[in-house]
Structure 1
Amino acid sequence: MNSNGRSQALSATIAGAFSRGDRTGLGRWFSTIDRTLLLIIIALIGCGVLAVAAASPAAAHRLSGARFHYDDLYFLKRQIGWVIAGVSVMFGVSLLTPAWARRLALGGTFFCLLALVYVLTTGADANGAQRWIDLRFTRIQPSEFFKPMFIVTTAWLLALRFEDRSLPTMQLSFGMLVLVAALLVKQPDYGQTALIVMVWLVQALLAGMSLWIVGGIVGAGLLGLGVAYLTVAHVTDRINKFVLGIGDTEQIEKALDCFRAGGLFGAGPGEGVMKFRLPEPHTDYIFSVIGEEFGILACLLIAGLYLAFVARVYVTMLDEEDPFLFLAATGLATQFGLQATINMMVNLNLMPSKGMTLPLISHGGSSFIALCLGLGLLLAFTRRNPFLKASPYVERWRAG
């Protein structure tokens, strides 16, 4: 066979693998996956690799010391490895049926709860917070993995109300929320606590919780924030920096300097100077690095991708008749969108510092894998078969 014949055969094989008529696992996956959502995810991951490439020299310079020197591309190389691992996790989880994805999340919630308790007793300490499990080659933050698992578990509990109104599933899920919030505050991790509470409120509201009850919970949360402001020095310091400009505001000033230096179109890839003054250029403040090197227009593009992601999920789920799939998908999308919003607002000095990464863009190990796990669950819950939507076989497939 000549080279032209071989190339035609290869093309036919690839086309066949992704054909709607193909009934293999890969063929079914491609014909049922939300390809628009998948493209948005791929675009964000691509933006993340470019952003880490821009931030890597600054991070390496800042973290290098007398005893150890980081290569300028050290964090980029690590990020590429995490991307390969994360995308593999996302793809593998997205192959699951909704029933198996739910079982994975229920089991994962239990083990993550145990990990949260373990962290408080023997976890690794950093910057006054006890949030990590040290595995020597990397550190894992259990709360990152807990978020998507808990969201799916909450969706399952709240969905049971639609089958039997007498079941106290709303109260049970709220009790779990209180337990988790207590464990996270103990670390302390107020940012993750606030994020999980906000996502739970959105899910509870979509499940039919009274606005009065939601308002009461929000009021209690604000009261708790006030108490924390008066009693916890760390919270007092961050709020004073944000509201009154009291204390060390150098960190956020450096972030804003990056946006000023970049302007609309940016200084150009690798041409940023202000990024070398940022404390966490590759993680918490990578959005500022994007602003300096690629400009405010690039920042708006990334913000638009996050908005498109959330809007796509909500619009897709509008006609979903299964309450569990509806609550799970919208909850996961809400978590993704809120986390991105919080990070971007912190970089723009529109919110006190939270220590939260920018989803799929910030350099990260366990946080990136956890995000991909959540996205894999979301892709599994949003899979649709356009030919069998009204068929009883769809219910059989969903039931596993």
Structure 2
Amino acid sequence: MTKILANIKGDRVIWAVAALLALFSFLPVYSASSNLAYLYGDGDTFIFLIKHFAHLVLGFLIMYGVHKIPHHYFKGLSIIMIPVVLILLLITMAQNTTIGGANASRWIRVPFVGVTFQTSTLAAVVLMAYVARYLSKIKNEAVSFKETLLPLWLPVFLILMLILPANFSTAAIIFSTVIMLVFLGGYPLKYISVILGTGFIVLVFFVLFAKAFPGMFPNRVDTWVSRIENFTDNKDTQEDYQIERAKIAIARGGVIGTGPGKSVQRNFLPQSSSDFIYAIIIEEWGFVGGVFLMLLYLLLLFRLVIVAHKSTDIFGKLLVMGVGLPIVFQALINMAVAVELFPVTGQTLPLISSGGTSIWMTCLAIGIVLSVSSKRDVAAVKEEQEKEKEENPLEVLQEIYE
């Protein structure tokens, strides 16, 4: 155990937050999986707990392995991976996967393994690293909008257009993060306004086209359009049913909750272990548990800002914000959906909800952040060693002699 801890580098607070979220997730996932066990299993929720444990173990192995990679390697990896994720997104759209009889065009089925993988989450991490690389490259250069169209914005819009039909919320999070990233990277505001306007026009035309030719796109388009319309019009739909059940769960929780494993609404919420797990957490752990969980994500946000601020290079700063902030955004959106501050999105609660892809990609992103922070730690150690040498002239003379 001591050797393992000695090999763990990077921001210890981020490690602690990730570990706390993972440990906390077992009880609500085990409790909320009773609905899945009834529908798809033989009533044994322990199987789903073991599956969640396996996802977390693999996720933390990914995090550990990635945090050992020097973060400047992600510059080259992002260039290599952009074509790969574009191909994966095209395959995902083409195969039109169904899970449990429902359309699941966000997932790709891995051959010979029998598992599904959500390609948009991988594309998001890769794209953020790519954008951070390009912005660090042009940081001290005067570039025109035309010069940035192909190397910067073409990959962004290609990836967004491949994700948008099946997953509007993920596309919106990616686009918002990219806009925030280019703003932090010093990209001219007049160019950013052009991109925002273009993005809005493309979205409007896409929705109109999808309405006019509904057979051209998967039925996910109708789903996310109807979710927004139902949120504004207050119509009685399946989404409203889920929201009402979530609000009942929150109301039952009160201040201290009903107790672990004593949720009632887990039996009525279709996505109780993933999209609406926050409502189950409040029902069982109360207002105290819900606030504690929110504070963990806010602590993660605080540490992300600290790591970015202390990073010694522009790429490291932008990389931390690009891959780290979407984790916090996703968590806040998931919580907002549960209390009806946001339309139903399908976004999971990072490191808490069940689901392999979400856990693995969250761990990948955190591993990249830890890679940046570990370089800072190495630099600090070298600086300390240099100071000690300056204070001990005999060591300096010995080094010169050798």
TM bin (shorter chain): 0.7 to 0.9
Paired residue for 2:105? 130
Paired residue for 1:375? 366
- Contact 2:70/2:371 (8 A) holds in 1: yes
How far residue 348 of structure 1 moved from its aligned partner, in angstroms, is 1.2
User: 2:292 matched to 1:292?
Assistant: no
* Moved >4 Å (runs of 4+): 219-230, 389-392
Superposition map of 1:185-196 within 5 A:
185-186=164-165, 188-196=166-174
Paired residue for 2:234? 245
How far residue 227 of structure 1 moved from its aligned partner, in angstroms, is 5.3
Paired residue for 2:63? 90
Paired residue for 1:172? 151
Identity of paired residues, percent? 26
Paired residue for 2:18? 41
- Contact 1:129/1:189 (8 A) holds in 2: no
- Contact 1:287/1:347 (8 A) holds in 2: yes
- Contact 1:108/1:149 (8 A) holds in 2: yes
- Contact 1:144/1:367 (8 A) holds in 2: yes
Which of 168, 177, 182 pairs up with 2:161?
A: 182
The 1-side partners of 2:280 and 2:80 are apart by 38
Which of 86, 100, 109 pairs up with 2:73?
A: 100
Unmatched runs of 5 consecutive residues or more in structure 1: 1-13, 19-25, 393-400
- Contact 2:17/2:300 (8 A) holds in 1: yes
* CA distance 1:344–1:84, change in 2 (3 Å): same
- Contact 2:311/2:372 (8 A) holds in 1: no
The TM-score, its normalising length taken from structure 2, stands at 0.84
Computed over aligned residues only, the root mean square deviation of the Cα atoms, in angstroms, reads 2.4
User: 2:381 matched to 1:387?
Assistant: yes
Higher mean Cα deviation, 128-137 or 278-287? 128-137
* CA distance 1:106–1:45, change in 2 (3 Å): farther
- Name the SS for the 2:164 alignment partner: helix
- Contact 1:237/1:247 (8 A) holds in 2: no
Q: Which residue identity is paired with 2:382?
A: L
Q: Which residue identity is paired with 2:93?
A: L
Paired residue for 2:217? none
The TM-score, its normalising length taken from structure 1, stands at 0.84
Which of 245, 256, 262 pairs up with 1:271?
A: 262
Q: Which residue identity is paired with 2:44?
A: D
How far residue 128 of structure 1 moved from its aligned partner, in angstroms, is 3.4
Equivalenced residues, count: 364
The 2-side partners of 1:146 and 1:367 are apart by 12
Deviations 1:35-61 (A, max 9, x none): 111111111111222221221223322
The 1-side partners of 2:149 and 2:13 are apart by 33
Paired residue for 1:21? none
- Name the SS for the 2:260 alignment partner: coil
Higher mean Cα deviation, 340-349 or 46-55? 46-55
Q: Which residue identity is paired with 2:47?
A: Y
Unmatched runs of 5 consecutive residues or more in structure 2: 212-220, 387-402
Paired residue for 1:109? 82
The 2-side partners of 1:55 and 1:253 are apart by 17
Paired residue for 1:77? 50
Deviations 1:272-312 (A, max 9, x none): 11221101111111111101111122111111111111111
- Contact 1:256/1:348 (8 A) holds in 2: yes
Paired residue for 1:361? 352
Q: Which residue identity is paired with 1:59?
A: L
- Contact 1:205/1:211 (8 A) holds in 2: yes
Which of 169, 175, 189 pairs up with 1:197?
A: 175
The 2-side partners of 1:382 and 1:47 are apart by 25
- Name the SS for the 1:165 alignment partner: coil
- Name the SS for the 1:382 alignment partner: helix
Q: Which residue identity is paired with 2:184?
A: L
Which of 181, 185, 203 pairs up with 1:207?
A: 185
- Contact 2:272/2:280 (8 A) holds in 1: yes
Which of 251, 254, 272 pairs up with 2:245?
A: 254
- Contact 1:306/1:337 (8 A) holds in 2: yes
Deviations 1:346-376 (A, max 9, x none): 1111111111111110001122112211211
